[in-house]
């Protein structure tokens, strides 16, 4: 369709040969890896024939026909579908990092299926697509609602997608912890598994994927116009909103249909188009075509790797979702190197609008927050449910109650303060109201170490875990610094590096989830922030650390005010930009690590507290830091209290509660305060 219009002249730009060569190589390796284990049982000809027939007399032949062949077919089909969907998504949003995974669509689909499993299991039997599509639409709707007022700048959209992914993941987890007995089998499914035992799923998927792919191709020419920006595209007569909406709907349908069948196969939709583009696919037609092909090859390779790992790992299942995430991470890092100049990211000029609510006196706000905090502490110490009824603990008995309620409460408050400050630092440094330690991957680094510890089965005690997690956070930070140094610690590159780290963490998580058992639940408890594990010494140590860092922050207030003015302005005012950024990053990461070991990597406090401070009228850096710290502390104090009493005598992880409450606030607050 578009090819005839381009009518490339002889001297026009030609496709670099490295593109077809690399992709062919990818396919050959994937096919070889997939077939080699079978070749000692079946002749090559018989193996090919397994796609349509089998020999009843010979068991390997039956196995190949009903297990291997459909698995290969479905991997290729899904990979192609997701690759195409990813390329279309990138074109819709003009965003080199957009994909069904990063926009939260896959998490949404998973959420939909979980809900349906719990509340309307009949619906799943009727059509698994419906629940997944509804969930996917919910996720993308939330992302769009979040970013509508902020402009669709690439990084903002991705961050909103991550927030939604975390949020829906937390919802999923909450149901899992409350009604675990129902969802056991969703563990493996949720982690993405392509294991097949007949041809039916493939035959069901095939027509759906084909129809959606054709519909996407029909939209190709209007999609090409989107490259010119909203103004020019609509001046050329394209109904931009309609094209975007229609194409996004197709993407959601494609991803949801896949998710409902095989679970979350993360990052194929991101990796395939990025790879195709890096290798030199240039025009829209080329990108769509090569992304599709690359997606198929990538997923086949990832699935084969998962299959091999499962075989080698003595039957403990390694879901395909893990291997795709492991491939996705490096590809994002490659993309990070490829996107040298943010000016080439279309839409980057539409920077997110700041929030400017009217200023309010700091003393008043800080006073109110402190009063609320004291009140929460009092209630938390005194008013609690007993075995028979709720009762007040008199102040004279607080000494005894302290052992049980004190350390965890103190730790929660301090973690909240640390996250509030770290979040403010990061939002200021990146100039993005959606930046936060959770999204920067610093928490993710700590979590990754914990995952590895759990997987290897090493027991180093609580203290050892603390040190290891801090090391993980520092390593994540070090990696970020290495990656970002070339860009002089520019905000966007940092966030993208964080995204890559998050992907690795995700891979580990999926692996643990699929293995299930006590290991999984212990790790999940920590991930979602169970403050009940904190001892008194740890709480006091944390206090000393947070107070020291807070004092240090007072020294860097002015550089922090200058940095958002841009590198040029800041350095011409005499600020050593790179060194200042490094120092601030260090501060932010130590604060984050301290908080992460207590509350887990997934609370939204680092995101919400600074935002709350702005909404409460604190615009200058120092005031925002102070109020954000108080707000963060208050938020986690309340979360900790609620976690203790809501399902008494059981406990919920307070990080999970904070994430749920915070997520809801965030969705509501951002859409409300973005409006003018």
The site for another protein (CB under 8 A) is made up of 1, 4-9, 11-13, 94, 218-222, 224-225, 227-229, 231-232, 234-239, 282-283, 343-347, 349, 676
Would you say 235 or 375 has its CB closer to another protein?
235
Distances (CA, A) of 436 to 237, 432, 589, 611: 39, 9, 11, 10
CA 74 distance to own-chain centroid:
25
DSSP-assigned states of every residue in 465-499: HHHHHHHHHHHHHHHHHHHHHTTTT-HHHHHHHHH
Question: Which residue's CB is nearer to another protein, number 156 or number 260?
Answer: 156
CB 92 within 8 A of CB 104: no
d(CA 424, CA 477): 17
In the complex, least distance from residue 483 CB atom to another protein, rounded to whole angstroms: 23
Shortest distance, position 89 Cβ to another protein, whole Å: 15
As measured in angstroms, the least distance from the Cβ of 228 to another protein is 7
| Smallest distance from another protein to CB 242, Å | 9
CB of 231 to another protein, least distance (A): 4
Query: Across-strand partners of 390?
Result: 385
272: Cα within 13 Å, side-chain hemisphere? 40
Nearest to 321 by CA among 270, 274, 263: 263
> Considering the complex, what minimum distance in angstroms separates the CB of residue 295 from another protein?
20
The distance of closest approach from Cβ of residue 644 to another protein in the complex, given in angstroms and rounded to an integer, is 46
Q: Please, which residue, 282 or 360, has the CB nearer to another protein?
A: 282
Q: Least distance (Å) from another protein to the CB of residue 286?
A: 10
Q: Do the beta carbons of residue 227 and residue 94 sit within 8 Å? A: yes
Token reading at 267:
């990052």
Write down the least CB distance from residue 597 to another protein, Å.
42
DSSP state of 51: T
508 touches 455 (CB < 8 A): yes
Task: Return d(Cα 44, Cα 51) in angstroms, integer.
Answer: 12
Taking phi first (over 0 means left), then psi (-120 to 50 degrees means alpha), and beta for anything else, what does residue 459 get?
A: beta
Q: Around Cβ 26, how many Cβ atoms within 10 Å?
A: 18
| SS3 at position 98 | coil
Min. distance of Cβ 521 from another protein in angstroms?
46
From residue 523, alpha-carbon distances to 447, 449, 453, 527 in Å are: 9, 11, 10, 6
Nearest to 331 by CA among 169, 212, 575, 504: 504
Minimum CB distance to another protein smaller for 275 or for 656: 275
Whole-angstrom distance, CA of residue 629 vs CA of residue 424: 9
Choose between 76 and 224: whose C-beta lies nearer to another protein: 224
**CB-wise, 6 or 565, nearer to another protein?**
6
Dist CA 53 CA 434 (whole Å):
54
DSSP character at residue 646: T
3-class SS of residue 555: helix
Three-state SS for 252? helix
C-beta closer to another protein: residue 91 or 531: 91
**What's the closest the beta carbon of residue 497 comes to another protein, in angstroms?**
22
Can you say how many angstroms the Cα of residue 24 is from the centroid of all Cα atoms in its chain? 31
Closest CA to 477 of 532, 431, 422, 428: 422
Q: Does the N-terminal peptide bond of residue 649 adopt cis geometry, omega within 30 degrees of 0?
A: yes
Which C-beta is closer to another protein: that of 9 or that of 399?
9
Minimum Å distance from CB 225 to another protein? 6
Give 159 or 339: the residue with its C-beta nearer to another protein.
339
């Amino acid at each position: 369709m578009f090819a005839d219009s381009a009518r490339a002249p002889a001297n026009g730009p030609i496709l670099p040969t490295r593109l077809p060569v690399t992709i062919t190589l990818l396919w050959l390796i994937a096919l070889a890896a997939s077939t080699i284990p079978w070749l000692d049982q079946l002749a090559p000809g018989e193996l090919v024939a397994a796609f349509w027939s089998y020999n009843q007399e010979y068991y390997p032949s039956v196995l190949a026909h009903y297990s291997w062949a459909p698995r290969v077919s479905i991997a290729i089909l899904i990979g192609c579908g997701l690759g195409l969907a990813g390329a279309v998504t990138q074109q819709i949003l003009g965003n080199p990092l957009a994909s069904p995974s990063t926009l939260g669509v896959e998490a949404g689909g998973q959420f939909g299926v979980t809900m349906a499993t719990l509340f309307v299991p009949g619906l799943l039997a009727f059509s698994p697509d419906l629940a997944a599509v509804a969930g996917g639409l919910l996720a993308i709707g939330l992302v769009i609602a979040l970013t509508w007022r902020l402009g669709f700048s690439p990084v903002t959209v991705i961050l909103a997608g991550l927030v939604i992914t975390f949020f829906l993941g937390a919802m999923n987890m909450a149901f899992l912890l409350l009604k675990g007995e129902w969802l056991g089998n969703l563990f493996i499914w949720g982690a993405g598994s392509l294991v097949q035992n007949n041809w039916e799923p493939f035959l069901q998927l095939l027509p759906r994927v084909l129809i959606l792919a054709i519909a996407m191709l029909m939209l190709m020419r209007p999609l090409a116009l989107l490259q010119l920006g909203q103004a020019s595209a609509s001046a050329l007569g394209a109904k931009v909103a309609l094209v975007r909406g229609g194409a996004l709907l197709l993407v959601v349908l494609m991803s949801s249909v896949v998710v409902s069948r095989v679970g979350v196969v993360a990052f194929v939709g991101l990796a395939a188009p990025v790879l195709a583009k890096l290798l030199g696919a240039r025009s829209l037609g080329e990108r769509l075509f090569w992304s599709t092909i690359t997606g198929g090859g990538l997923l086949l390779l990832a699935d084969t790797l998962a299959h091999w790992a499962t075989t080698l790992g003595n039957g403990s299942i390694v879901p395909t979702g893990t291997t795709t995430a492991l491939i996705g991470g490096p590809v994002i890092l490659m993309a990070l190197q490829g996107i040298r100049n943010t000016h080439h990211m279309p839409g980057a000029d539409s920077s997110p609008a700041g929030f400017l609510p009217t200023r309010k006196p700091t003393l008043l706000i800080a006073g109110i927050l402190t009063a609320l905090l004291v009140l929460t502490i009092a209630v938390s110490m005194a008013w609690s449910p007993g075995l028979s009824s709720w009762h007040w603990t008199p102040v004279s008995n607080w000494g005894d109650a302290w052992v049980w309620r004190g350390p965890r409460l103190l730790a929660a408050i301090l973690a909240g303060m640390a996250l509030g400050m770290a979040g403010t630092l990061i939002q200021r440094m990146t100039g993005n109201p959606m930046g936060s330690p959770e999204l920067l991957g610093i928490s993710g680094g700590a979590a990754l170490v914990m995952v590895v510890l759990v997987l290897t089965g090493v027991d180093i005690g609580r203290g050892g875990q603390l040190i290891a997690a801090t090391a993980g956070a520092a390593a994540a930070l070090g990696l970020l610094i290495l990656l970002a140094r070339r860009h002089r610690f520019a905000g966007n590159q940092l966030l993208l590096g964080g995204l890559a780290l998050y992907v690795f963490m995700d891979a580990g998580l999926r692996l643990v989830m699929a293995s299930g058992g006590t290991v999984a639940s212990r790790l999940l408890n920590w991930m979602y922030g169970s403050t009940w594990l904190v001892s008194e010494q740890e709480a006091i140590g944390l206090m000393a650390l947070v107070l020291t860092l807070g004092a240090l922050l007072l020294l860097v207030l002015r550089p922090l005010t200058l940095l958002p003015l841009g590198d040029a302005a800041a350095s011409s005012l005499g600020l050593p930009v790179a060194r200042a950024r490094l120092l601030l990053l260090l501060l932010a990461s130590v604060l984050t690590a301290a908080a992460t070991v207590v509350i887990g990597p997934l609370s939204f406090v680092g995101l919400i507290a600074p935002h709350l401070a702005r909404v409460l009228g604190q615009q200058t850096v120092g005031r925002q830091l102070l109020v954000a710290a108080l707000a963060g502390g208050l938020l986690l104090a309340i979360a900790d209290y609620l976690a203790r009493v809501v399902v008494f005598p059981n406990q919920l992880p307070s990080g999970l509660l904070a994430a749920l409450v915070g997520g809801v606030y965030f969705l509501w607050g951002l859409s409300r305060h973005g409006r003018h």
